[in-house]
Chains A and B, each alone.
Chain A
Amino acid sequence: MTADVIVLGAGSAGLAAAVTAAREGAKVVVLERHGFAGGMGTASLVHTFCGLYLLGEGPPRLANPGFPAEMAERMLRATGDDGPVRMGRVWVLRQHPVEFVRIADELFRESGVEVLFHSEALRAERDGDGWTVEAVCRGQRKVLKAKALVDASGDAVLADLLGAAAERTESALLQRPAYVFGVQGVVEAEEGLALAGRIVDGVRRGELPKEALGLHFRSSGRAGEIFGSIDLSGAEEGDYDPLDAGCLSRLEVRGRQVASAAVDFLKREAAGWAAAYVSHWPVRAGVRESRRWIGRHVLSEAEVLAGTRHADDIALAAWPLEFRETTRGPKLRFPEEDRAAGIPLGCLMPRDLDGVFAAGRCLSCDHGAQASLRVMGTCFATGQAAGVAAVLAARGEAVEGTLLRLRELHGSPE
């Protein structure tokens, strides 16, 4: 099978890249190991879009035009919400993973992307002017060829497969993972501060494991349904390694243990929780940070904090640095004057390779900058740019044309 562009991974970045590239007229194939798109935003039940709106006072203003704006609009139509909600100093858009999956199916169909679910990429190499990628489905290998590749795997899988330059934050500093699960059957239930007090009380009395201190609940927006999120250290046994099956497996099991214990405890003790039950487990525990590409530009924490702009910015980073290095909740650092930094094209372009583009949480930046860039609103924007760049590369045109093309399509950001 031969395509113009193969996109590895159908998370928020891969979805944006694939749909954008197909709308630009390219033949696009997406490889995704799960049975649906959305990545962390569906398989891990992460249920808010951050980074869609600029920081600062006043009404919400979209940071990046085009695909991110379209996703916001489609999601609002699906949830019936009026708009984003203000949380402290930021705007977030509530999203429902079930709607995200369905919207992604529609977008793929409308734009003519060919999606291969249940396909795990396991080999990639240079092939003349283009690339060969091998994926496996149920033990069967499939060989695909393309002129350009987009790595939206979240884990920079393609960098590993191609032996290209990539980087990992040392284990102790990695943003911590979290386990998100669905709960139903709660009616006019105790919530917020009172629930927080009750959970601490349960831990104090030895009825709950101490990891329950990293637990909080948020309404899904649907009647009687809430999401619980548990921040875990990932180092419950041995160092946290988000690319190791053993470590990830322990994380999954621990997440389910803590969630089950918490829901059982609240059923017994909290008002309105008597009929509560865990209604869904995530397909996978949520991983915030793993491996990143080293590109022609490595966006730094200092650049994001200074709101730095570059001549070749393809998107804006509109989320503060959100550190999750401990399980004790987020630590936010805001850029100077709430100014969104620019993400230059060089962050999508591997240092030593042509015809490959990175997008989403594994693009080229340092640990601190990734604390801002990883959010889904920004992944939609970097994915969109990677889609445009990949089409230009597939046609043998200069990828520097990405900026101009993005501007033609959507106007300038901000």
Chain B
Amino acid sequence: MKEMPTAEEVVAMLREEGIADLEDGFAADGNLFEAGMDSMAVMQLIVVVEERFGAVIGPEDAGRENLETPEALARLIGRRTA
């Protein structure tokens, strides 16, 4: 099992997978929804996170509190890989 990713790794993943169009150095506590991530992008995100980290994000996890910022996402991925 992998460790919990860093917020930077999450930002890199979102960019590489084309999930959100983030600028260089997007802040760990930056708002991903304001940066254009919508519910369709969230579906992709869940699929990618499972492929990359083996983290299974269930319907109950798919709330703003878990997905809004790179650091919240990193924490969620950490919890779901454990």
Q: Chain A interface (Cβ within 8 Å of chain B)?
A: 88-89, 192-201, 203-204, 213-214, 216, 231, 328-329, 331-332
Contact = CB atoms under 8 A, between A and B. Distances in A.
Contacts of B42: 193, 196-197
B1 interface: no
Given A194-B59, A197-B46, A201-B59, A329 B67 contact: no
Given A197-B58, A216-B43, A328-B18, 19 more contacts: A88-B34, A89-B36, A193-B39, A193-B62, A193-B63, A194-B62, A194-B63, A195-B39, A196-B42, A196-B62, A197-B46, A197-B60, A198-B62, A200-B46, A201-B59, A329-B40, A331-B21, A332-B21, A332-B36
Contacts of A213: 43-44, 47
Interface string B56-77: 1111111110010000000000
A184 to B, nearest CB: 20
A213 B51 CA distance: 15
Contact of A197 (B18, B38, B57): B57
A203 B58 CA distance: 12
Contact of B59 (A197, A214, A331): A197
Interface residues of B, number: 24
A332 B57 CA distance: 27
Given A328-B18, A331-B18, A197 B62 contact: yes
A201 B58 contact: yes
B13 interface: no
Nearest to A195: B39
Interface centre among B21, B39, B60 (most CB of A within 10 A): B39
Given A194-B59, A196-B62, A216 B39 contact: yes
Given A88-B36, A331-B21, A193 B67 contact: yes
B47 A214 contact: no
24 contacts: A88-B34, A89-B36, A192-B39, A193-B63, A194-B62, A194-B63, A196-B39, A196-B40, A196-B43, A196-B46, A197-B46, A197-B57, A197-B60, A200-B43, A201-B58, A201-B59, A213-B47, A216-B38, A328-B40, A329-B38, A329-B40, A329-B41, A332-B21, A332-B36
